[in-house]
Structure 1
Amino acid sequence: MGGFNYKDIYIEDGKRVLEVNILPEKYCNFDCIFCPIGRSQNKVDTQQPFDDMDNSLNELENMIEDNKAELVYINSKGEAFVNSRIDDIIALIKSKGLLVRLLSNGYLLGRDEYIRIANKCDEVIGEIKAISEGDFQKVQRPIEGYTLEEYISNMVSFNKQYKGKFILEVTIIKGYNDTEEAVNKIKDVINKLCPDKVIVERMDDEKFKKKLGVSDERFDEILMQLER
């Protein structure tokens, strides 16, 4: 068996979706305080080689065929771009005639080598959580030198040239981006980004829900303003 992890196949919009994590452990360019995976021991934004990748690719091919998948969702423990074989992974999926959805936090979508990879996918998901520079540094703890302005700019520039479906996931966090001022800033980002779809979520992991979760009433108010 290879080193990938899979969720049980599920149906979404009539398609059989196979969700796969292509990282052996958490490798990310952020170290968010609310990450359900835990702390980033491997805080990187460059591609890394991993062991047993040929077996992992063979296993992926078998999983696609055995489950009659129609869309493969690359949703990894961290930033999927850092797997040095991600090009091969996407090529395998596309060779089967399947759709590819890729989740990235979005920061690396400003770099040519990652733009090229993302452009091969049918759907790309980017994320917004903290909406002020101070909070971005405090709670998302990016690699040194990263800024919120560049983060947003990277996604905006990527989507301007992207031919597929760009989805923005917004996570509402109590005390950080749930005020009217913060929600208006998120609306400004959405208007700049022009995503094909906006998904608004909140903290639902039990470890963080009590401290960082917004009330049902407030969440519904924010949904009305943001989701489309």
Structure 2
Amino acid sequence: MSFSYKEIYNEDGKKVLEVNILPEKYCNFDCIFCPIGRSYNKVDIQRPFDEIDNSLKELENMIENHKVELVYINSKGEALINSKISTIIELIKSKGVSVRLLSNGYLLGRDEYIQIANKCDEVIGEIKAIKEEDFQKIQRPIEGYTLKEYISNMTSFNKQYKGKFILEVTIIKGYNDTEESIDKIKSIISELSPDNIIVERMNDEKFKKKLGISDKRFKEISKVLQNT
């Protein structure tokens, strides 16, 4: 398999390289609003993919040639599913480069995934639905998953994590944009105790009309949550 990359960009004065380490979408969720599309490979155990030696070499060259300072593993689905993710992280770290991992966060309660995530300098977890019925309806997780366990997994992970834990909260019209919902999100943030909070909304054109919120409401909610 080969990795795919976004254009290198600057963030807070650092050169950031974003990399996808999955050949197609592999995820433990099948969210109705996922910009990548449906999850035909709904899994939560690691999978081996094709030989990745060439991909690792390409990643190494990208880091060296562009003097990258942070590699952001942002994949098509749940990056922890790639059985070679530890090798990928170790290669990046061997270059003296920081690693940021985006995970939806559900797997951060399992020992094998905790050990992998602990190697990263930054880990991003996500919260979208805040009611159990909504979690099942719009995030369509693997059978047996619960919202309570989802939050608990991220909470227990962050308690032992030495790096920077970032929580990305996505505001979805009709699901978590009321005052009552915002209070619930505040209590979740308090429980998770992240180092940083990113507030997002539906920006994909396919979902914006039905699930997007106004600029005014977005600013109001962002202000409240980022002062939590």
TM-score (norm 2): 0.98
Please tell me the residue identity of whatever aligns with 1:221: E
- Name the residue aligned to 1:84: 83
- Name the residue aligned to 1:47: 46
Counterpart CA distance in 1 for 2:62 and 2:88 is: 13
Alignment of 1:161-200 (within 5 A): 161-200=160-199
- Percent identity reads 79
Pair 1:146-2:145 in alignment: yes
Q: CA deviation at 1:67?
A: 1.2
Please tell me the residue identity of whatever aligns with 1:122: D
- Spell out, residue by residue over 1:72-102, the C-alpha distance to the aligned partner (whole angstroms, 9 max, x if none): 0000000000000000000000000000000
Counterpart CA distance in 2 for 1:221 and 1:98 is: 36
Counterpart CA distance in 2 for 1:113 and 1:65 is: 30
Asked if structure 2 preserves the Cα contact closer than 8 Å seen for 1:133 and 1:148, the reply is yes
SS state of the match for residue 155, structure 2? Answer: helix
Q: CA deviation at 1:224?
A: 1.4
- Spell out, residue by residue over 1:127-153, the C-alpha distance to the aligned partner (whole angstroms, 9 max, x if none): 000000000000000000000000000
Q: CA deviation at 1:217?
A: 1.2
Range with bigger deviation, 58-67 or 105-114? 58-67
SS state of the match for residue 55, structure 1? Answer: helix
- Name the residue aligned to 1:114: 113
- Name the residue aligned to 2:95: 96
Please tell me the residue identity of whatever aligns with 2:166: I
Range with bigger deviation, 45-54 or 79-88? 45-54
Q: CA RMSD in A?
A: 0.7
Please tell me the residue identity of whatever aligns with 2:102: L
Pair 1:8-2:46 in alignment: no
Spell out structure 1 runs of 4+ moving beyond 3 A: none
Counterpart CA distance in 1 for 2:71 and 2:161 is: 19
- Name the residue aligned to 2:135: 136
Asked if structure 2 preserves the Cα contact closer than 8 Å seen for 1:99 and 1:121, the reply is yes
Counterpart CA distance in 1 for 2:55 and 2:179 is: 46
Alignment of 1:31-42 (within 5 A): 31-42=30-41
Range with bigger deviation, 22-31 or 62-71? 62-71
Counterpart CA distance in 2 for 1:217 and 1:69 is: 36
Q: CA deviation at 1:52?
A: 3.0
Counterpart CA distance in 2 for 1:159 and 1:205 is: 30
Pair 1:217-2:188 in alignment: no
- Spell out, residue by residue over 1:94-117, the C-alpha distance to the aligned partner (whole angstroms, 9 max, x if none): 000000000000000000000000
SS state of the match for residue 181, structure 1? Answer: helix
Range with bigger deviation, 46-55 or 125-134? 46-55
Where does the alignment leave 5 or more consecutive residues of structure 2 unmatched? Answer: none
Counterpart CA distance in 1 for 2:13 and 2:102 is: 20
Pair 1:160-2:159 in alignment: yes
Counterpart CA distance in 2 for 1:136 and 1:211 is: 18
SS state of the match for residue 73, structure 1? Answer: strand
Counterpart CA distance in 2 for 1:216 and 1:89 is: 39
Where does the alignment leave 5 or more consecutive residues of structure 1 unmatched? Answer: none
Q: CA deviation at 1:66?
A: 1.4
Q: CA deviation at 1:55?
A: 1.1
SS state of the match for residue 125, structure 1? Answer: strand
How many residues align? The count is: 227
Please tell me the residue identity of whatever aligns with 2:83: S
